[in-house]
Amino acid sequence: MADTYYFIKDLINDLERGRIKIPSFQRGFVWEPNRVAYFIDSIYKGFPFGSVLLWRTRNPLRTERNLGPYRLPENDPEYPIDYVLDGQH
């Protein structure tokens, strides 16, 4: 399997368009707010942020989660959905 690299702005753009979703079986947030702040700071400084495992499908799941307090928008039905399987933090 080939590695695919994304910029953080591309991931955020896909989230805002409803192209990335959180399946209902994914656990909730586990990081404390100060740890999230350090993580965002390291991204801002240009450090790599590890991996995110996505499952791409055209078949939406029956139930999905929001991203913390952020309600994820609906996806364009012509575009596949990327479900976060690991790396939500």
| CA gyration radius, the chain | 13
Does residue 61 sit within a domain? Answer: yes
For the segment 10-39, the average pLDDT, to the nearest whole number, is: 87
In the predicted model, is pLDDT for residue 9 greater than 60?
yes
| pLDDT value for 69 | 81
User: How many other C-beta atoms can be found within 10 angstroms of the C-beta atom of residue 14?
Assistant: 18
The model's pTM is 0.75
Q: How many domains does the chain have?
A: 1
Question: Is the residue at 17 inside a domain?
Answer: yes
pLDDT at 58 > cutoff 70: yes
Taken in order 42, 48, 50, 51, the sign of the CA dihedral is positive
Q: Is residue 77 part of a domain?
A: yes
Q: Which domain holds residue 73?
A: 8-86
Q: 72-88, pLDDT tens digit by residue? A: 888 888 889 999 887 55
Does residue 73 belong to any structural domain of this protein?
Answer: yes
Q: Other CB atoms closer than 10 Å to residue 20's CB: what's the count?
A: 21
CB 86 within 8 Å of CB 52: yes
